[in-house]
C-alpha cells in the first residue's frame, strides 16, 4: 500500500497502520465466532456474527489499498467511503444493546462473541472517525494551497498576458477565409497596434482600464500613461522596437518613465512591456536588471518579449 504524498498522506498512513495491525486478528475472530465453533445461538447472534464478517471483509476488500487515484479516485472519495463504513457499523449497535439487556435481565452469562465483536466494532469506528477528521483537515489544507496557487496576483495576471502576447499575434494572422481571401485582422505594425491588442487582452482580468491618462510632469514635461489600473495602482507602459528604437533608446525612455511614476499617487507598480518581434534588442537581460526594482513603496518590472 503506497502512500502518495500529494493526497492526505498523514491520515492515510494512520489508517494503513490500523489495517495492517488488525486485519489478521479480525479475520481470526470472524472464523472463531461462527456458530459451528461451539458458541451456539444467543440473542441477535446472527447479526452480531455478521457484524464481524462485515468489519473483516470491508477492511480487507475496500481499505487494504488506500492509493489515490488508483483505488480511490480522489481523497474525497476515500473520505466518503470511510464515512459510509462508520455509519454501517453504527447501524449494528442496537443488536448488541438488545442482546446484552435480554441476557442481563435473565441473569444469563454473556457469550464471549458479544463483547469481543462489539469491542472490535467500536475500536474500528473510533479509528475511522479519527481518520476522517485527520483526512478532512489535510484535504482542506491542500485545497487552500491549491486555491492560493490558482489565484494569481494582479501583477501575475498581467505577466501571463504579456508572455502570451506574441502567440496571440501569430494566431490572429491565421484567420478564416472568405472566397479564398483571409478575413481582416489586426496587424501589429507599430506601438499603437500593440496597445490596442493589449487593451483587449487585459479586459480578460480587469474591468477598469484607463488608457492614455495624463500624469504629473517630470523634468518640465508631462506624458500620458498607456494604461492605468487605478484600483490596482498599476501602470503599464508599452514600447515596440523599430529601426530607430533599440537597446540604448529603449533603456533611456524606460529610465524616464520610471522616474516619472516613482511618486505618482496612483502607481505602486510600473510594468514596462517592450514588444520586440524582430529581436532588435541585443541585451534584454541587461535592460531588465538595470530597471527592475521591488520594494513596498514602488516596484518596476520590465518584460521584453518574445526574446526572453
Q: How many CB atoms lie within 10 A of CB 224?
A: 10
The domains of the chain are located at: 9-149, 170-305
Grid coordinates in use for 72?
480511490
Q: What is the pLDDT of residue 174?
A: 83
Torsion over CA of 209, 212, 218 and 220, rounded to 10 degrees? Answer: -160
Note the CATH number of domain 170-305.
3.40.1350
Q: What is the pLDDT of residue 178?
A: 77
| pLDDT average, residue stretch 88-101 | 96
Q: How far apart are CA 37 and CA 268, in angstroms?
A: 81
Q: What is the pLDDT of residue 39?
A: 77
pLDDT digits (tens, 9 = 90+) for 35-82: 677 677 899 999 999 999 999 999 999 999 999 888 888 888 999 999
Q: What is the pLDDT of residue 212?
A: 66
Q: What is the pLDDT of residue 147?
A: 54
Is the pTM here over 0.85, yes or no?
A: no
- Which residue stretches of 186-243 are H helix? 191-202
pLDDT digits (tens, 9 = 90+) for 113-170: 999 999 999 999 999 999 999 998 887 776 555 555 557 889 999 999 999 999 999 9
Q: How far apart are CA 103 and CA 165, in angstroms?
A: 80
Q: What is the pLDDT of residue 226?
A: 85
**Cα–Cα distances in Å, from 108 out to 18, 47, 99, 111, 159?**
34, 20, 11, 9, 79
pLDDT digits (tens, 9 = 90+) for 192-245: 999 999 999 999 999 999 986 655 544 444 456 689 999 999 999 999 999 888
Amino acid at each position: 500500500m503506497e502512500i502518495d504524498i500529494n493526497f492526505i498522506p498523514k491520515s492515510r498512513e494512520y489508517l494503513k497502520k490500523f489495517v495492517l495491525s488488525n486485519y489478521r486478528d479480525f479475520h481470526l475472530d470472524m472464523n472463531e465466532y461462527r456458530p459451528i465453533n461451539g458458541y451456539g445461538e444467543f440473542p441477535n447472534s446472527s447479526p452480531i456474527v455478521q457484524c464481524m464478517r462485515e468489519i473483516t471483509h470491508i477492511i480487507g476488500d475496500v481499505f487494504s489499498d488506500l492509493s489515490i487515484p488508483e483505488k480511490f479516485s480522489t481523497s474525497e472519495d476515500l473520505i466518503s467511503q470511510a464515512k459510509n463504513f462508520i455509519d454501517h457499523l453504527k447501524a449494528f449497535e442496537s443488536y448488541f444493546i438488545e442482546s446484552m439487556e435480554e441476557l442481563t435481565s435473565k441473569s444469563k452469562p454473556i457469550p464471549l462473541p458479544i463483547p469481543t465483536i462489539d469491542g472490535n466494532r467500536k475500536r474500528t469506528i473510533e479509528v475511522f472517525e479519527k481518520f476522517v477528521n485527520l483526512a478532512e483537515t489535510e484535504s482542506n489544507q491542500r485545497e487552500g494551497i491549491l486555491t492560493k496557487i490558482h489565484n494569481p496576483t494582479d501583477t501575475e495576471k498581467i505577466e501571463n498576458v504579456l508572455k502570451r502576447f506574441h502567440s496571440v499575434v501569430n494566431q490572429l494572422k491565421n484567420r478564416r477565409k472568405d472566397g479564398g481571401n483571409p478575413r481582416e485582422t489586426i496587424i501589429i505594425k507599430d506601438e499603437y497596434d500593440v496597445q490596442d491588442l493589449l487593451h483587449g487582452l487585459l479586459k480578460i482580468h480587469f474591468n477598469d482600464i484607463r488608457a492614455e491618462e495624463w500624469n504629473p510632469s517630470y523634468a518640465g514635461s508631462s506624458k500620458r500613461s498607456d494604461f492605468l489600473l487605478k484600483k490596482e495602482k498599476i501602470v503599464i507602459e508599452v514600447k515596440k522596437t523599430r529601426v530607430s528604437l533599440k537597446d540604448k533608446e529603449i533603456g533611456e525612455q524606460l529610465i524616464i518613465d520610471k522616474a516619472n511614476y516613482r511618486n505618482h499617487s496612483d502607481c505602486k507598480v510600473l510594468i514596462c512591456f517592450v514588444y520586440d518581434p524582430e529581436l532588435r534588442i541585443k541585451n534584454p537581460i541587461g535592460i531588465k536588471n538595470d530597471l527592475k526594482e521591488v520594494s513596498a513603496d514602488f516596484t518596476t518590472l520590465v518584460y521584453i518579449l518574445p526574446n526572453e
